[in-house]
Amino acid sequence: MEVAGSNPAPPTNLFMLFHETPLPVFQFSCLSQFSFLKHAVFTRKGGYSQGAYSSLNLSFDVGDNPEAVKKNLELVKTYMGAKRIVWSRQIHDKNILIVQDDTLPPFKGYDAFITSCSYTA
């Protein structure tokens, strides 16, 4: 029984596997119902980085080969169907950046982005 004003129980399956090869991607099932919203949670698999950073490393700040990171970012951009990509050095906090047409990466200190800009990932 649901009481008026109470919060409904959270869904038991928050993630669903969207695409398994060559770039494993997860999506939030609660967001997948919105056809206008493309989102993805990537794993470490499917990229170009080698060694300790293998394989889908998206950070320039950890000592990985910058060319491999650029190729990895291109994979994400292509998968998302984006013309441009923005990224941040995450700090695992609650900071969210609103991305505008003139917003240019890289950013530090944000863990999420919100945008209404088309073809931006």
pLDDT in tens, 63-83: 999 999 999 999 999 999 999
Q: 28: closest CA among 43, 41, 19, 42?
A: 41
pLDDT value for 47: 95
- Between 26 and 11, name the one with better pLDDT: 26
Residue 9's pLDDT is what?
56
Question: 68 is written with which tokens?
Answer: 């491999």
What does the pLDDT read at residue 17? 62
Angle made by CA atoms 71, 102, 105, in degrees to the nearest 5: 35
List the helix and strand counts (H, then E) for the chain. 1, 7
> Could you give the CA distance from residue 77 to residue 23 in angstroms, rounded to a whole number?
12
Which pLDDT band, with edges at 50, 70 and 90, does 3 fall under? very low
Indicate the pLDDT class of residue 2, thresholds 50, 70 and 90. Answer: very low
